[in-house]
Structure 1
Amino acid sequence: MSTSTAAPGTQQEQAYYGDTYLFESAATVVAAGTDGDVAWAAVSPNIFHPKGGGQPSDEGTLNGIPVIPSRGDDGLVVLTGGPELAPLAAGTAVECAIDAALRKRHAALHTAGHVLGHLGEARGWTSAGHSHYPGQARLDFSPEGLEAGLATPEQREQIRAELQEAFDAVLARGGSVSAAMDGAGHRVVTIEGVNSEPCGGTHVARIEDLAGVRVLELKIKRGALKVRYEAEHI
């Protein structure tokens, strides 16, 4: 990317860190340029979550023009548009909007993934990966620490039912979901009564905002356990 009028050390407020439900915002271009014939811009405050951490990127518009957010090499979240997006200059005032329904879906899947991951670790499992994509949401657990009773489909179905029951208990109890920066500058997401862990994704405001949570399937692949799940926002 070739940058126009981007000052060294440019700062960008990540507004989505503090408010999952901020779907529209006025902003100012803090860096901009072109990549071939494609214009891009970084704005602040930024409401767009870029792809990362197992969560897909938001979809939205910049001045009404569709853009795709991504994380640049310098750490800025940059918005790339199609041919309709004209090159912008730093200091330009713009209007940003994201797809609210998609944002809430991503947040629900991410929060549900944290809860389900905690329930797996409570059984002695070791997290080894995750995806919070709609229709593809799953948690991976390494072979180390897996209990013996996972060999047959019947055994895995029993444990799936136990995980569902445990998740339903978390939903019934409810609680807040919050995020804050720790002393080292890392963002930590805390789900009340569940856990706290570093995370840069979007999350629901309360556990009660989750709906349609289903533990779909437990599957063993190359010795590792894959737990598929689904979740929606109320």
Structure 2
Amino acid sequence: MATELMYLNDFDVLTGAARVQSVSVDDDGRTDVVLDRTCFYPRGGGQDWDTGAIRGAAGEFAVEEVRLDPEGMVHHLGNGPIAVGDEVSLAVDTTRRVMNTRLHSAGHVVDLAVERLGLPWVPGKGAHYPHMSFVEYNAALAPEETEATLVRIQQAARDVVGAGSTNEIRFMPVSEMGDYCRNVPDNIPTNKPARIVLYSDDFGVPCGGTHVRDVSDIGTLTITKIKSKKGVTKVSYAVEGIN
């Protein structure tokens, strides 16, 4: 049975209660715990996993890594006393979650800036990690246009963050996402509910990751580099206090 993903419905959920469904040993020797529900985000969509603790009557299980399998079950990998049937409390590492959420949300603001500038770029893959933050687009950019485009995207992104806006979560069939999102990928996962997050009231993002509640929570966003090669333009960025 798929794990209930508590973070899909709540921007701020960092704690919760759950029941242990299974306990096994992973290939690397760590304990693999599956719960009936979780607030821990598993790595995916260019965003890193949560860490933290699962606490029960037997003690504390340290969550070191979180994965989502094709059947929709979330695997919490780590070490500590835990058993099937335990009623447990969950606590996500707040500092790590906030960092990953700000970086991830910043990537969507870069995309929003590109859209507001009217650039006909189709978004591709992205990465939102402290050591590597970028969004790629299926678009060509002439070398002489690079610097001016960087300045324009950075200003547009900072305008969005500076204005602030409350994001909104919505669930809907994939067939309806085109009414809200300028780009709906063909590879939207089918092992979790289809969700969009509305940025600045009118920019829909098909995404199952964690997002800031208000865009202003991202902080200062800087476009560090733009590189275009073989029809792909890579926009790298940094968020103040993180990278």
Structure 1: which amino acid aligns with 2:104?
H
Unaligned stretches of 5+ residues in structure 2: 175-192
Q: Which runs of 4+ in 1 moved over 6 A?
A: none
Contact 1:33 1:87 in 2 (8 A): no
Structure 2: which amino acid aligns with 1:22?
V
User: Is 1:190–2:198 an aligned residue pair?
Assistant: yes
Unaligned stretches of 5+ residues in structure 1: 1-9
State the SS of the aligned residue for 2:132. coil
CA gap 1:190/1:210 in 2 versus in 1, 3 angstroms: same
Per the TM alignment, residue 137 of structure 1 is displaced from its structure 2 partner at its CA by 0.6
Find the partner of 2:3 among 12, 18, 26.
12
Per the TM alignment, residue 141 of structure 1 is displaced from its structure 2 partner at its CA by 1.1
Structure 2: which amino acid aligns with 1:65?
F
Q: Determine the structure 2 residue equivalent to 1:133.
A: 129
State the SS of the aligned residue for 1:137. strand
After TM superposition, the structure 1 = structure 2 runs for residues 105-184 of structure 1, keeping only pairs within 5 Å, are 105-121=99-115, 122-143=118-139, 146-147=140-141, 150-152=142-144, 155-183=145-173
Q: Determine the structure 1 residue equivalent to 2:83.
A: 88
State the SS of the aligned residue for 2:24. strand
Q: Determine the structure 1 residue equivalent to 2:229.
A: 221
Query: For 2:238 and 2:202, how far apart are their aligned partners in 1?
Result: 19
Deviations 1:6-47 (A, max 9, x none): xxxx24221111223222222211233333643211123301
Contact 1:104 1:233 in 2 (8 A): no
Structure 1: which amino acid aligns with 2:62?
P
After TM superposition, the structure 1 = structure 2 runs for residues 14-29 of structure 1, keeping only pairs within 5 Å, are 14-29=5-20
Query: For 1:165 and 1:87, how far apart are their aligned partners in 2?
Result: 50
Moved more, 47-56 or 36-45: 36-45
Per the TM alignment, residue 165 of structure 1 is displaced from its structure 2 partner at its CA by 1.2
Q: Determine the structure 1 residue equivalent to 2:76.
A: 79
Contact 1:20 1:107 in 2 (8 A): no
Q: Determine the structure 1 residue equivalent to 2:49.
A: 57
TM-score, with structure 2 as normaliser: 0.80
Structure 1: which amino acid aligns with 2:35?
V
Q: Determine the structure 1 residue equivalent to 2:210.
A: 202
Deviations 1:188-215 (A, max 9, x none): 1111245112101000001121202111
Query: For 1:162 and 1:21, how far apart are their aligned partners in 2?
Result: 32
Contact 2:112 2:157 in 1 (8 A): no
Contact 1:108 1:233 in 2 (8 A): no
Over aligned residues, Cα RMSD in angstroms? 2.2
CA gap 1:170/1:159 in 2 versus in 1, 3 angstroms: same
Deviations 1:79-106 (A, max 9, x none): 1113xx34521x2111221111111111
Say how many residue pairs are matched: 216
Contact 1:115 1:194 in 2 (8 A): no
Q: Determine the structure 2 residue equivalent to 1:69.
A: 66
Deviations 1:126-154 (A, max 9, x none): 112111111311011113xx35xx313xx
Deviations 1:151-202 (A, max 9, x none): 13xx312111111111122123221112121135411111124511210100
Counting aligned pairs with the same residue, the percent is: 27
State the SS of the aligned residue for 1:56. coil
